[in-house]
């Protein structure tokens, strides 16, 4: 989790104001690269270059321009931007309450965590409890990064989450249906059976980014000086690290705990045994061989 | 648990030296009747080991042995006629003497609670030997109180669910059982590999690897010989995780070792695939399973002992160095290197929090 708040302000809900901080709750784990000069692997930099004067220019001579026609720009300065209305600059103003299912997932953009500021715990808890009790989410507006965004606030696992939404005109779902063909009942039944076979609860821990893992292995191998053939990373042996181990230990505990919880108790007894200690009456002999 | 004092040990040893069949040994306030003292239990050991020798051995190693055994349900292997006779494995005893502590533990197999014994004093250790016990095995969970089981119930016999919530579902060691599957070439078809130098070197090498990994996780690691071909590495842990969870972690650790040393380590269940490698067995971390107790003798022709070792000593040690004859003197000279095991419990919650 990010340690630094990216925004601070207040959630306003009728007469109640709840001072909060906003933290990012999700983060894509992309592997970032630097661009280098192939010849000497030195860092390269981008420079602002004026196409008319053919010189490099400093940041303070840079303005934003909106292209209204090819080659024709309307220039906007900082003052122009500041004159725009951003009423909810430091508030999350709740406008309505709805059921979570009312919003199609296509509208969800980014998830943030809301944390109460000092002395705001009580009002924070009130909003949390109220949302949870009524099973509703709040629709609000927030100004983030100089842009007013629609968002929802919802209660999950003891935390108020804020999810920014795309505006309706930012979403481009099909304007006309991609299919309207009728299907045969028999085929539909077959599909039903297949679906039932693959039906199981969603467990995010089961899914990992295999491309990223392969890329990381490749980087580690190259760092370790292992020569890597150009064809994929199948041949790359990644030296496992203790960090890998601790992560895996956590996963294994979580999985074991999940199993125990589902069964109501320990499954120790139901486990199969290694073939060596086959269950026979010659128990003593078994012991002998066992601890060898 | 009650550890015998040095004076008490010497007193029992003196009694034992003069004891005749049918005599009582006065062990603290308890009396243990001993018979067949000249029966040869390990005829092939050099010199051979009689029941009197075994009892004397137990008296001499008792403080170190009881320290490890206290509070742990114990299973034993009995061979009343010695190594050449029949052997059977025993979990439950009918009306043992009053000094033998028992605890009712739910048995899923029998669908009721059964009394299991705890080896908590010298008299119990000697009484068991008198019953023909040659090997002592214990659980990796114990009933004893410590800060790490504050609030954890002590009802082990009411139901399976109660046992799952109790102290006996929370092991205080993560056991890494290392078995050499290097064959010497002299084994009968299908038999277990015999002890030989090359095989043991490989197990030892992997044990040091386990220690390195434990080190990196900030966990203490204690090693002992199994008394046969393998080594047991114990990572003492605070009792925050149940057997299922600890076993899962042990399996992860085993898989990690295999990743580190693919040519030397196997986690395969098929015995054929283990050939030439060290089998890392995580399944010992299962409730109801027992591993041989530290300092327990083994039913091995040479009267070997499951011997705790310092890591320095492991470098040059060989399993047959440690027998009923040699261990008491080694222990007297070098001290009990597992004495600190209970106080070295690592916190797996902190280990898990390490991961980013």
pLDDT at A88: 57
Contacts of A245 in chain B (CB under 8 A): 213, 216-217, 252-253, 256
Q: Are B123 and B15 in contact (CB under 8 A)?
A: no
Residue A11 in this model has a pLDDT that exceeds 80: yes
Interchain contact, A274 vs B281, CB within 8 Å:
yes
Contacts of B242 in chain A (CB under 8 A): 256, 260, 266
More confident: B296 or A261:
B296
Shortest Cα–Cα distance, B169 to chain A (Å): 9
> Number of helices (H) and strands (E), helices first, in chain A?
6, 11
Contacts of B354 in chain A (CB under 8 A): 242-243, 246
Helix (H) or strand (E) holding B115, with range, is strand B112-118
More confident: A259 or B105:
B105
A89 vs A61: CA distance, rounded Å: 28
Give the residue on B whose Cα is nearest the Cα of A256: B245
Tally of CA atoms within 13 A in the half-sphere of A202 that contains its CB? 1
E strand map for chain A:
7-13, 16-24, 49-50, 55-56, 64-69, 72-76, 91-98, 108-116, 137-144, 147-156, 159-165
What confidence category does residue A194 fall into, taking pLDDT thresholds of 50, 70 and 90? confident
pLDDT tens digits, A30-89 = 788 888 888 888 888 888 888 888 888 888 888 888 888 888 888 888 778 777 766 556
A135 vs A153: CA distance, rounded Å: 12
More confident: B1 or A1:
B1
As given in the structure block, the two tokens for residue A188 are 């539909």
Tally of CA atoms within 13 A in the half-sphere of B189 that contains its CB? 0
Q: Are B26 and B33 in contact (CB under 8 A)?
A: no
What DSSP letter does each residue of B165-228 carry, written as one string? HSGGGS-SEEEEEEEE----S-SPTTPPPPP-HHHHHHHHHHHHHHHHHHHHTT---EEEE-SS
pLDDT at B42: 97
What confidence category does residue A268 fall into, taking pLDDT thresholds of 50, 70 and 90? very low
Within chain B, where are the H helices?
6-18, 51-69, 122-130, 160-165, 197-216, 243-260, 271-274, 311-314, 327-334, 348-353
A128 vs A117: CA distance, rounded Å: 15
pLDDT at A58: 87
pLDDT at B247: 93
Residue A117 in this model has a pLDDT that exceeds 70: yes
Beta bridge partners of A183: none
Provide CB contacts within 8 A for A35, sequence distance 6+.
A43, A44
Judged by average pLDDT, the poorest of A12-26, A269-283, B5-19 is A269-283
- Three-state DSSP state, A179: coil
Q: Choose the closest CB to A268 out of B253, B288, B299.
A: B288
- Does residue A39 sit at the B interface (CB-CB below 8 Å)? no
Contacts of B283 in chain A (CB under 8 A): 271, 273-274
pLDDT at B193: 79
Give the residue on B whose Cα is nearest the Cα of A286: B89
Weakly modelled stretches of chain B, pLDDT under 70? 354-356
Average pLDDT score over residue span A278-287: 41
Average pLDDT score over residue span A174-189: 80
pLDDT at B18: 93
A contact residues 260-289, partner B, Cβ 8 Å cutoff = 260, 264-269, 271, 273-276, 283-289
Which span out of A146-155, A169-178, B316-325 was modeled with the highest average pLDDT? B316-325
Please give the DSSP secondary-structure letter assigned to residue B312: H
- Does residue A245 sit at the B interface (CB-CB below 8 Å)? yes
Please give the DSSP secondary-structure letter assigned to residue B87: -
Interchain contact, B356 vs A247, CB within 8 Å:
yes
pLDDT at A239: 65
A107 vs A102: CA distance, rounded Å: 11
Interchain contact, B108 vs A267, CB within 8 Å:
no
What confidence category does residue A3 fall into, taking pLDDT thresholds of 50, 70 and 90? low
pLDDT tens digits, B100-142 = 999 999 998 899 999 999 999 999 999 999 999 999 999 999 9
Contacts of A288 in chain B (CB under 8 A): 77, 87, 228, 299
């Amino acid at each position: 989790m990010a340690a630094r708040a990216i925004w601070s302000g207040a959630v306003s809900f009728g007469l109640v104001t709840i001072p909060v901080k906003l933290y990012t709750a999700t983060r894509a784990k992309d592997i970032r690269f630097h661009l280098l000069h192939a010849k000497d692997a030195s860092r390269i930099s981008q420079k602002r270059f004026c196409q008319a004067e053919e010189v490099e220019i400093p940041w303070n001579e840079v303005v934003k321009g909106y292209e209204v026609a090819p080659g024709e720009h309307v220039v906007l300065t900082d003052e122009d931007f500041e004159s725009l209305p951003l009423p909810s600059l430091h508030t999350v103003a709740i406008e309505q309450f709805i059921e979570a299912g009312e919003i199609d997932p296509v509208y969800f953009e980014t998830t943030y965590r809301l944390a109460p500021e000092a002395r705001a715990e009580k009002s924070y808890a009130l909003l949390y409890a109220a949302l949870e009790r009524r099973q509703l989410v709040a629709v609000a507006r927030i100004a983030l990064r100089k842009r007013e965004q629609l968002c929802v606030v919802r209660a999950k696992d003891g935390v108020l989450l804020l999810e920014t939404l795309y505006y309706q005109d930012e979403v481009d779902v099909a304007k006309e249906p991609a299919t309207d063909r009728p299907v045969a009942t028999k085929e539909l039944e077959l599909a039903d059976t297949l679906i039932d076979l693959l039906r199981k609860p969603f467990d995010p821990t089961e899914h990992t980014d295999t491309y990223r893992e392969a890329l990381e292995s490749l980087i580690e191998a190259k760092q370790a000086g292992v020569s890597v053939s150009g064809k994929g990373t199948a041949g790359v042996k990644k030296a496992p690290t203790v960090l890998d181990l601790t992560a895996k230990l956590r996963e294994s505990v979580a999985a074991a705990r999940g199993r125990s919880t589902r069964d109501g108790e320990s499954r120790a007894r139901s486990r199969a045994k290694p073939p060596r200690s086959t269950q026979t009456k010659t128990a003593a002999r078994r012991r002998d061989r066992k601890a060898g | 648990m009650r550890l015998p004092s040095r004076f008490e040990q010497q007193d029992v040893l003196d009694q034992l030296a003069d004891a005749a069949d049918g005599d009582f040994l006065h062990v603290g306030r308890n009396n243990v009747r001993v018979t067949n003292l000249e029966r040869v239990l390990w005829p092939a050991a050099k010199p051979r080991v009689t029941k009197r020798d075994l009892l004397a051995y137990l008296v001499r190693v008792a403080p170190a042995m009881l320290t490890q055994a206290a509070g742990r349900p114990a299973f034993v292997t009995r061979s009343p006629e010695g190594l050449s006779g029949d052997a059977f494995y025993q979990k439950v005893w009918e009306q043992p003497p009053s000094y033998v502590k028992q605890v009712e533990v739910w048995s899923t197999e029998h669908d009721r609670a059964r009394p299991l014994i705890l080896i908590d004093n010298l008299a119990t250790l000697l009484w068991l030997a008198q019953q023909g016990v040659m090997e002592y095995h214990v659980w990796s969970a114990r009933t004893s109180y410590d800060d790490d089981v504050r609030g954890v119930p002590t009802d082990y016999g009411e139901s399976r669910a109660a046992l799952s919530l109790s102290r006996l579902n929370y092991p205080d060691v993560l056991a890494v059982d290392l078995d050499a599957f290097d064959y010497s070439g002299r084994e009968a078809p299908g038999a277990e590999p015999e002890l030989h130098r090359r095989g043991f070197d490989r197990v030892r090498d992997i044990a040091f690897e386990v220690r390195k990994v434990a080190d990196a996780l900030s966990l203490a690691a204690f090693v002992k010989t199994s008394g046969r071909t393998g080594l047991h590495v114990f990572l003492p842990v605070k009792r925050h995780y149940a057997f299922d969870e600890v076993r899962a972690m042990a399996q992860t650790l085993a898989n990690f070792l295999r990743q580190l040393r693919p040519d030397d380590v196997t986690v395969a269940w098929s015995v054929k695939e283990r050939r030439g490698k060290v089998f890392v067995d995580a399944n010992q971390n299962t409730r109801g399973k027992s591993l041989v107790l530290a300092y327990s003798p083994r039913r091995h022709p040479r009267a070997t002992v499951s011997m705790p070792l310092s890591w320095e000593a492991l470098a040059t040690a060989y399993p047959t160095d440690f027998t009923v004859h040699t261990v008491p003197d080694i222990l007297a000279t070098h001290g009990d290197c597992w004495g600190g095991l209970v106080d070295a419990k690592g916190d797996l919650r902190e280990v898990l929090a390490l991961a980013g």
